[in-house]
Amino acid sequence: MAAVEERGAPDVVVPDPLPTELEITDEVEGSGDEVAAGAGVTVAYTGVSASTGDVFDSSWDRGQPVSFTLDQVIPGWGEGLVGMKIGGRRQLVIPPEQAYGDNPPSDDIAPGETLVFVVDLVGID
């Protein structure tokens, strides 16, 4: 977590134009083990709605990384984190079909929204 904490919370840049498929960009290449499909991970992240640029969720704001398995999250995360190395920082631009589609979990995300996440991989569980 030390390298991730030293970097601090990311700036999230919404690409223009928005991609129509999952877009994965490594901002910082990690080292060591890589995330496998279905793996358990611990991450720090910030999520932004592409249409507004507003942050709708951030583990950085809560001061705690989050742990889960890749089969517990939206498909864009499940696919987008595979191959990432510990200590890395990756931006995921996730189209609605691989995010929440027309059924977002809260009013902070509009139906049919493209989501942009910057994810720091703290560990592989």
Q: How far apart are CA 64 and CA 76, in angstroms?
A: 22
Q: Give strand ranges (E) for the chain.
A: 23-28, 40-49, 55-58, 66-69, 89-94, 115-124
Helices (H), 70-125: 75-80
pTM for this model (two decimals): 0.92
In whole angstroms, how far apart are CA 21 and each of 80, 93, 103, 114?
A: 11, 8, 19, 10
Question: For the CA atoms of the chain, what is the radius of gyration?
Answer: 13
Please report the pLDDT score of residue 2 as a whole number.
Answer: 61
Catalytic residue IDs:
45, 56-57, 74, 100, 117
Show me where the domains of the chain are located.
2-124
Check: CATH 3.10.50.40 for 2-124?
yes
Model confidence pLDDT, tens digit, residues 58-115: 999 999 999 999 999 999 999 999 999 999 999 999 999 999 999 999 999 999 999 9
**Could you tell me which residues come within 8 angstroms of residue 28 by beta carbon, excluding any fewer than 6 positions away?**
7, 87, 88, 89
Joined tokens for residue 28: 């910082």
